[in-house]
């Protein structure tokens, strides 16, 4: 296991960003399930749920740039 040293403000920014993604993802999941319950495949909802559980457990996904983030969400 490697040890990484980060400044406290950078670490707090990472935690803040992760919290924002977690909130946005759970909000998106609720909105999608409410608005189009019959049109959304259960597989997509399962994937969103897995991502949300991972974020809640402290796991994350790293993206090098904006295009990787878009690619990730399109692959869902």
- The mean of the pLDDT values for the chain is 81
Q: Are the C-beta atoms of 69 and 51 separated by less than 8 Å? A: no
Nearest to 54 by CA among 72, 31, 32: 72
Nearest to 60 by CA among 10, 23, 14: 14
Count the Cβ atoms, other than its own, within 10 Å of residue 25: 17
**Pairwise CA distance, residues 21 & 54, whole Å:** 12
The whole-number average pLDDT for the span 30-38 is 75
| pLDDT tens profile 40-52 | 677 877 887 887 7
Helix 8-35 and helix 42-56: axis angle, to 10°?
A: 150
Give the pLDDT band of residue 13 (cuts 50, 70, 90).
very high
Whole-model pTM: value is: 0.45
Query: Which sequence spans correspond to the domains of the chain?
Result: 27-76
């Amino acid at each position: 296991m490697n040890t990484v040293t980060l400044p406290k403000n950078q670490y707090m920014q990472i935690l803040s960003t992760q919290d924002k993604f977690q909130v946005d993802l759970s909000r998106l999941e609720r909105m999608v399930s409410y608005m189009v319950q019959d049109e959304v495949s259960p597989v997509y909802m399962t994937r969103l749920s897995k991502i949300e559980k991972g974020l809640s457990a402290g796991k994350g996904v790293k993206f090098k740039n904006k295009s990787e983030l878009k690619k990730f969400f399109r692959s869902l």
